[in-house]
Amino acid sequence: MSTYRQPGTVVTEHLFDVPLRHDDPEGETISLFAREVGAADGVERPWLLFLQGGPGFASPRPVGRDAWLDRALRDYRVLLLDQRGTGRSTRVNRHSLLRRGGAEAQAEYLSHFRADSIVRDAELVRRRLLGDVPWSVLGQSFGGFCAVTYLSFAPHGLREVLIAGGLPGLSASAEDVYRATYPHVAAKNVAHYARYPGDVETVRAIVAHLLEHDVRLPGGARLTAPAFQTLGRALGGLSGSHELHYLTEDAFDAPGVLGDAFLEEVQHRLSLAAAPLYAVLHESIYAQGPGATAWAAHRLRPAAFDNYASGPVLLTGEMMYPWQFDLDPALIPLRDAAELIAARPSWPVLYDPAVLAANEVPVAAAVYHDDMYVDRTLSLRTAAAIRGTRVWVTNEHEHDGMRVSAGAVLDRLIAIARGDA
């Protein structure tokens, strides 16, 4: 454990050993890394666990009281947890998975990296740090899904729950999620092209070039038209439309020549080398009970997204497709394991409706009205099913509101949880 100072904060690093399989506490263990961030004034404050969005992304790397931390540190001591498989916790990537053995062994290992295991990890960490004292939890996006699992499995460990853009459908399958979110993605495309009408022809020119040529990114991966379309996941953030406009406006160095700067930026945005768990487990975060996810986003993809002949080319969103495991060098070695994950016939349940209906933990949730990733109808249905949940529905923010609002979203959630808003 090491401690150091940053502007306005004191940071302490923690490392915990937890069971890989919580039903086998004496078996294999993995490591969890977490940063404790406290205000530099030395005042003791209650703990707030932050659960990052994803799946498969490490917790934020803070620099002092940046972003929402400034607001959080007025009331809490914050624990930034690298969820299992991410960051400085025992990492999951193509190298570590290959050491597990073949595809079946890899897929079995990966099955222990969902919200149910993350919540049990968090409970072990809480008991080691706080004993019997409950703590507050802040969940962003997938972190909110984990928070609802926490409310289901271990409400005794919770003082209050704050959720930003992360109320899951309690019984929604992957198919239900993509039926709901594909129309949101299409609407974001319409809004983008209305804002930047010249991008209709620009994007069509890029896609036409990709359909006719074998284009390679600087790292050697092939850039196809469908791969380019996945850049549309940026449209769910506050500045994503503007970023895509600036990216595509400089795509061609000359007629028929895609520029190196464009290709380098596309490679950076497309690669999942830093978060392979996001790719492999993305659909499984919706899976409960019997039924394989079976590449639901691929199966349900509307024909409009494959229309390259006329009209604006529609970019896609937070969906994973099997062909991505043929293109991204970081994912190619994981293709067989990903197929087994997609074909897995049954998954443990993630939510307990009876426990949630009897909930006594204060819950405050921000539901973004125009959220491209988490359908508001499913979220509001879940809010109604969790006793005592207070909801703030807003179109002031996009899905990344927690990160980019300079603490405004968190401030509102805290006020709601306390009955002050």
Catalytic residues: 141, 371, 399
Tokens 């932050």 locate to 50
Close Cβ partners of 204 (under 8 Å, ≥ 6 residues apart): 312, 313
Measured CA distances, 235 to 102, 223, 231, 251, 399 (Å): 37, 20, 8, 18, 10
Q: What angle do CA 261, 310, 223 make, to 5 degrees?
A: 30
Instruction: Evaluate whether 318 touches 181 at the Cβ level (below 8 Å).
Output: yes
Close Cβ partners of 267 (under 8 Å, ≥ 6 residues apart): 217, 218, 219, 221
Strand pairing class (158-164; 363-368): parallel
Nearest Cα to Cα of residue 164 among 362, 364, 361, 366: 366
Number of helices followed by number of strands (H, E) in the chain: 17, 15
b/e code 46-75 from CB counts within 10 Å (16+ = b): ebbbbbbbbbbbbbbebeebebbbbbbbeb
Distance, CA of 341 to chain centre: 18
Q: How far apart are CA 13 and CA 11, in angstroms?
A: 7
